[in-house]
A and B are shown apart, each in its own frame.
Chain A
Amino acid sequence: MNVPAALKRITDQVWELPVSYKEGMLVPARIFASEKLVREMDAGVFEQVSNVATLPGIQRYAYCMPDGHWGYGFPIGGVAAMDPGTGVISPGGIGFDINCGMRLVLTNLTADQVLPKLHQLVDRLFARIPTGVGCHGFVKLKQDDFRSIVQQGSRWCLKNGFATQEDLDMTEEGGCFSGADASHISDKAVERGYNQLGTLGSGNHYCEIQVVKPENVMDAELAAAFGLTTVPNQVVIMFHCGSRGFGHQVATDYLKLFLSVMGRKYGIKIVDRELACAPFHSPEGQAYFSAMKCAVNMAFANRQVILHRIREVFSDLFHASPDELGLRMVYDVAHNTAKLERHEVNGPRKELLVHRKGSTRAFGPGAAGLPGCYAKTGQPVIIGGSMETGSYLLAGMQSGADAFFTTAHGSGRTMSRHEAKKNFRGDKLQREMEARGIYVRTDSFGGLAEEAGSAYKNIDEVVEATELAGLSKRVARLVPIGNIKG
């Protein structure tokens, strides 16, 4: 039982730590969760979300989403909006894996059509999408090409035959954060990452074949608008990865820089060094914001070239073009970023720097920046669950304004990786999952054991909590049948 005595219940789904909870808190901290989820949260969530509330310039509340768990700096599931004029930018509020995110892709194939070829499909995806520790990608580049990719993101993919215009339209910010300037990234970051375009990585990154079962459609109208119910038991593809070693190096470089200037130059005191930060409008803050955008763009390009390869694999195996197979994107959305957005705080809308770490932007219907086809539905939100239990497609809601239109990003861990590895065996898990109809390929049985479904929260409870809190609406639950893992 880790819940602090000071935690107040505001509504059934909203909990608050007042500013009196910790010295230096500038705003209260709020956690969105059911009573059960909040009681199961680890001590780190309460410690870290209240630490975030001490950061200069924070507006309204420091938030944590229902999948929140102990991270570094911010909790995973953390959200903080800063006044850009008086506030800071912190790599610890974004994560080392900048623009780690999710992409969901439709097919017009049914489970009955895919199941006879499932092993071939998963084996071919596993052979053709590099996974695992230190993997190098299938797009061979010179370092200068890579520098232009990180400035252009998915636009580079469009110019080079790896994308369609529709893919870019269905990606957050069109697959390119503007203002990414490669002069702010180190040679080391380029050298670390230029060989990794077109790689999944490892840990909780994966590419999954899923089925939309009719009984798992919660909102038929939204599901149809997102293209999910064109055929019964429709097969879809979900994948999860980020900016790979490049983004990790960008974050490390600036963490070190911020630690060296934060106190000395700007007189900022923080309660946890992983919250190292700099004033947003300082030279260091602006340099990091630009470098972070480079990593954001690398991740968009990474997911885009992976989609290109997925289309090739499906096309070869099912002897039809990607168009004929209906391989169209539902959406691509980041869950580790900082962005300038306009939100209401005590009155008129103003520009805020919104940090989202392990939390997903979830714009409601009518929001600027959504493609026309989603103007009435709200933004599709892709929630990756554990490989055993399934995932969700949600939609942003108008009532999400309180949390700067943000929702959860996954199911959230409850068991440490160390403990999971002691409790589960990867090879046994793989056999058990296959017996239950989920065919998994991996290079790492140790890594597979760490991702066992029982190491995660119940995703049904997490997404229900986001809906009851008015952050995002359930559209459909997606059930895995095949998975490749790093």
Chain B
Amino acid sequence: MPYQYRGDIAHADVAFDAWAKTLEELFRDAARATVQVMAENLEGIRRTQTLEVKLTQENEEMLLFDFLNELIFYKDARRLLLLPAELTIIKGESGVELRGTLQGEEIDPARHEMNTDVKAVTMLRYAVEKTDEGWHATVVLDV
């Protein structure tokens, strides 16, 4: 299971765990978990717009924080529901860099089965960690 919502943390917010073999898969799954809080029908999001994304952070944890915040930003600024298309994450001496593309379209309540707005990624129980099987993240979203 790539991600699972949790009912046992912060009742007014939405918490999820994500597990993946690679960091790129973890970011993709965490993005899907975040967008699905807002729109139930992820398959209904047509990929009519493509945006480039490039982020650098000191570690994987803050990189995922910034990455999920990009999705939340475009939802408000341009009314776009976006999912990752291609992602590459490279760890270098100066930190961790993400390059890739996001694809999606403007919010259409008729097709996307709207749920609840995501306001922010919180630091409550927030974690991105390397495991024996790959990567694991715990994220609590303010809704």
Q: CB within 8 Å of B: which residues of A?
A: 42, 44, 69-73, 76, 92, 95-97, 132-136, 188, 191-193, 195-196, 201-204, 244-245, 248-249, 251-252, 255-256, 259, 272-274, 276, 413-419, 443-447, 450, 486
The answer to whether B109 touches A71 (Cβ under 8 A) is: no
Q: When A249-B73, A417-B12 are in contact, do A133 and B114 touch as well, CB less than 8 Å?
A: yes
The answer to whether B120 touches A248 (Cβ under 8 A) is: yes
Q: When A133-B39, A244-B76, A446-B40 are in contact, do A72 and B123 touch as well, CB less than 8 Å?
A: yes
The answer to whether B115 touches A444 (Cβ under 8 A) is: yes
The answer to whether A414 touches B11 (Cβ under 8 A) is: yes
Q: Can you identify 25 A-B contacts, CB atoms within 8 angstroms?
A: A72-B124, A73-B123, A133-B115, A134-B75, A134-B81, A135-B79, A136-B79, A188-B73, A192-B76, A203-B119, A244-B76, A245-B73, A245-B77, A248-B120, A252-B121, A256-B65, A259-B123, A274-B124, A276-B123, A416-B8, A418-B6, A418-B14, A443-B109, A444-B115, A446-B113
Q: Which residues of B contact A450 (CB under 8 A)?
A: 115-116
Q: Which residues of A contact B107 (CB under 8 A)?
A: 132-134
Q: Which residues of A contact B85 (CB under 8 A)?
A: none
How does the 8 Å CB contact mask read for B105-132 relative to A, with 1 for contact and 0 for none?
A: 0010100011111011111101000000
The answer to whether B122 touches A132 (Cβ under 8 A) is: no
Q: Which residues of A contact B73 (CB under 8 A)?
A: 188, 191-192, 245, 249
> Can you add 17 more A-B contacts, CB < 8 Å, to A202-B116, A273-B123?
A69-B12, A70-B12, A95-B142, A132-B109, A133-B115, A192-B77, A272-B124, A274-B124, A274-B126, A413-B12, A416-B7, A416-B8, A417-B13, A418-B14, A446-B116, A450-B115, A486-B117
Q: Which residues of A contact B5 (CB under 8 A)?
A: 418
Q: When A132-B109, A203-B143 are in contact, do A443 and B7 touch as well, CB less than 8 Å?
A: no
Q: How far is the CA of A173 from the CA of B6 in the complex (A)?
A: 39
Contact residue among B80, B114, B123, B124 (Cβ-Cβ distance under 8 Å from A446): B114
The answer to whether A273 touches B126 (Cβ under 8 A) is: yes
Q: How far is the CA of A430 from the CA of B80 in the complex (A)?
A: 28
A415 nearest in chain B by CB position? B11
Q: How far is the CA of A73 from the CA of B39 in the complex (A)?
A: 27
Q: Which residues of B contact A418 (CB under 8 A)?
A: 5-7, 14-15
Q: CB within 8 Å of A: which residues of B?
A: 5-15, 38-40, 62, 65, 69, 72-73, 75-77, 79-81, 107, 109, 113-117, 119-124, 126, 140, 142-143
The answer to whether B13 touches A133 (Cβ under 8 A) is: no
Q: Which residues of A contact B81 (CB under 8 A)?
A: 134
**Shortest CB distance B74–A (Å):** 9
The answer to whether B76 touches A196 (Cβ under 8 A) is: yes
Q: How far is the CA of A445 from the CA of B40 in the complex (A)?
A: 10
> How many CB-defined contacts (below 8 Å) exist between A and B?
145
The answer to whether B77 touches A72 (Cβ under 8 A) is: no
Q: When A44-B10, A188-B73, A417-B14 are in contact, do A255 and B119 touch as well, CB less than 8 Å?
A: no
Q: How far is the CA of A156 from the CA of B40 in the complex (A)?
A: 38
A252 nearest in chain B by CB position? B120
Contact residue among B11, B14, B69, B120 (Cβ-Cβ distance under 8 Å from A42): B11
Q: How far is the CA of A308 from the CA of B8 in the complex (A)?
A: 41
The answer to whether B12 touches A96 (Cβ under 8 A) is: no
Contact residue among B7, B38, B69, B119 (Cβ-Cβ distance under 8 Å from A419): B7
Q: Which residues of A contact B75 (CB under 8 A)?
A: 133-134, 245
The answer to whether A96 touches B116 (Cβ under 8 A) is: no
**Shortest CB distance B79–A (Å):** 5
Q: How far is the CA of A318 from the CA of B56 in the complex (A)?
A: 56
**Shortest CB distance B63–A (Å):** 12
The answer to whether B123 touches A272 (Cβ under 8 A) is: yes
The answer to whether B10 touches A132 (Cβ under 8 A) is: no
The 3 closest A-B pairs by CB, nearest first: A245-B76, A72-B124, A273-B123
Q: Which residues of B contact A417 (CB under 8 A)?
A: 11-14, 116, 143
**Shortest CB distance B42–A (Å):** 13
Q: How far is the CA of A299 from the CA of B15 in the complex (A)?
A: 26
Contact residue among B13, B38, B62, B120 (Cβ-Cβ distance under 8 Å from A251): B120
A418 nearest in chain B by CB position? B7
**Shortest CB distance B57–A (Å):** 10
The answer to whether B117 touches A274 (Cβ under 8 A) is: no
Q: How far is the CA of A335 from the CA of B80 in the complex (A)?
A: 29
Q: Which residues of A contact B11 (CB under 8 A)?
A: 42, 44, 69-70, 413-417
The answer to whether B123 touches A191 (Cβ under 8 A) is: no
Q: Which residues of B contact A447 (CB under 8 A)?
A: 114-116
The answer to whether A96 touches B142 (Cβ under 8 A) is: yes
**Shortest CB distance B28–A (Å):** 21
Q: When A70-B12, A272-B123, A418-B14 are in contact, do A134 and B113 touch as well, CB less than 8 Å?
A: no
Contact residue among A72, A201, A444 (Cβ-Cβ distance under 8 Å from B13): A72
Q: How far is the CA of A44 from the CA of B77 in the complex (A)?
A: 33
Q: How far is the CA of A244 from the CA of B8 in the complex (A)?
A: 26
Q: How far is the CA of A75 from the CA of B124 in the complex (A)?
A: 11
**Shortest CB distance B33–A (Å):** 12
Q: How far is the CA of A273 from the CA of B61 in the complex (A)?
A: 13
Most chain B beta-carbon contacts within 10 A, residue among A191, A274, A486: A274
A253 nearest in chain B by CB position? B69
The answer to whether A203 touches B10 (Cβ under 8 A) is: no
